[in-house]
């Protein structure tokens, strides 16, 4: 049985870590290099770095900042935001990223997943997606959750894996930042639809929410931001509590 992973997420805007609610109202959460070092030392299993305005601003991910973060961590490090080509990805992998996360760029040009997987292997390719129910159907959104697409959530994750994604990072937009818990039903549907690891994202507000997502779905990892950034949950204590609930953790 694969051990479950705890993953802090650094959403980056203008070189700072930020966090909002439902993708809106961003507030400063600290220096990403300092936070990355702290989480690595506290026992996080992986780290995710998302340059959340790179796609909207039509620019590449902040390579220098990625390099500085990578120098401070000794855990797997996933980077996303503005990655539109194999060349973009190679530059980030060369500067310390272990995995590449693509979202809007893969929706706009799905072949990107094939190209990244062929070049680096599917273990390096994470398909991130932001979705919410629209008239009862889960739809995928792009450009930082601002633009609705015609894509159905489950259709897109299946296609993404067929094209070479080795992991799914699914954020429920309606749960994001609310601290009301993860979108358990949708997460389990994604887990059942694909045969690659699924990372839960969006809505974590308590240790109980981590317990719920691991006991009630087949996700492989749970990602959170504000509860870690603002000191509400300490990673080592979280892991000890999960073990007491017979959840196999790294």
Catalytic residue set: 11, 130
In the chain the first and final C-alpha atoms are separated, in Å, by 11
Which structure tokens are listed for 176? 């994001």
| Residue 145 Ramachandran class (φ > 0 left, ψ -120 to 50 alpha, else beta) | left
86-124 burial by CB neighbour count: b if 16+ within 10 A, else e? eebbebbbebbbbbbbbbbbbbeebebbebbbebbebeb
DSSP 3-state of 184: helix
Decide if 133 contacts 114 (C-beta within 8 A): no
């Amino acid at each position: 049985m694969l051990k479950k992973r705890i993953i802090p997420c650094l959403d980056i805007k203008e070189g700072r870590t930020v966090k909002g609610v439902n993708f809106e109202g961003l507030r400063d959460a600290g220096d990403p290099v300092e936070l990355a070092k702290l989480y690595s030392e506290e026992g996080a299993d992986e780290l995710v770095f998302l340059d959340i305005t790179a796609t909207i601003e039509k620019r590449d991910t902040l390579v220098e900042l990625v390099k500085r973060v990578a120098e401070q961590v000794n855990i797997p490090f996933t980077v996303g935001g503005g990655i539109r080509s194999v060349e973009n990805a190679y530059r980030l992998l060369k500067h310390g990223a272990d995995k590449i996360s693509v979202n809007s760029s893969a929706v706009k040009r799905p072949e990107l997943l094939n190209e990244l997987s062929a070049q680096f292997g599917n273990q390096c390719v994470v398909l991130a997606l932001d979705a919410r129910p629209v008239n009862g159907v889960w739809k995928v959104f792009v450009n930082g959750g601002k633009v609705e697409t015609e894509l159905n959530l489950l259709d897109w994750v299946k296609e993404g894996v067929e094209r070479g994604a080795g992991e799914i990072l699914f954020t429920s937009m309606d749960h994001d930042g609310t601290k009301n818990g993860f979108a358990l039903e949708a997460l389990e549907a994604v887990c059942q639809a694909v045969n690659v690891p699924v990372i839960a994202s969006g809505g974590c507000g308590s240790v109980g929410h981590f317990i719920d997502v691991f006991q009630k779905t087949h996700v492989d990892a749970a990602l959170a931001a504000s509860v870690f950034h603002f000191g509400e949950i300490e990673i080592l204590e979280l892991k000890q509590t999960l073990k007491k609930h017979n959840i196999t953790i790294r």
